Amino acid sequence: MVRVRLPIQEAIRDLVNDLLGTETAVDKTPDAIESDDVGAVVSYRDDEGAMAIAGVFDTDLVGFLGGALTMVPPSALEEARNQGDLPENVVENFWEVTNILASMLNRPNSPHVVQADRHRTLAEAEGDLLGVVDAPAKARIFSVAIEGYGTGRMALYAAP
C-alpha cells in the first residue's frame, strides 16, 4: 500500500488561514505533546478502513481552532480552559476543522482518506490508532499560532 504523505507546515498554514480568515503561523517543533496536554486524537483512514494518519492535538489548539472557526472570544476560551474543559460547541467546531484537514491529505497518487475515529484523550484511543501514535513510520509536530487566539501544537503520525 502507498502511504499517505504528511503535509508540510505551509500547507497547514494556508488551509487554516483560508478556513479561519485570520493570520496563522505554523512551524515545525521538536516538542512532543505530553499525554496530559492532549485535547483530541483523530484518525484518518483510507477507503478500506486502514489507518493512514493519526493526529494528536493539544488542548490549547483544540480550543483555538474550534473557537476561531465561529469567532468565540479568546477570553471565553481561556475562562473555559481554566475551569477544566472546553464547551461542547467549541469541540464540535474543532472536529469540523479536523475533518476539513483531511482535504490536504488527499493528493494525486495517494490513497483517499477521511477522518474516522475521534477521541478527547489519548487514553481513549486504542488498537491501530494508538499503535500508529506509539510507533509511526514518520512524524511531524507543528506549533500553530492563530492571531488573536494563541499557540498550540499538533502532531501527525504516518502509519507504517
Q: Domain with 32 in it: what CATH number?
A: 3.40.1550.10
4 part of a folded domain:
no
* Spatial separation of the C-alpha atoms in residues 24 and 15, rounded to whole Å: 9
Give the pLDDT mean for 14-40.
94
Give the model's pLDDT for residue 109: 83
Look at the chain and report how many structural domains it folds into.
1
| 15: containing domain | 9-158
Instruction: State pTM to two decimals.
Output: 0.94
- Which tens digits make up the pLDDT trace of 90-124? 999 999 999 999 999 998 888 899 999 999 999 99
Q: Is residue 49 part of a domain?
A: yes
All three cell numbers of 58: 493539544
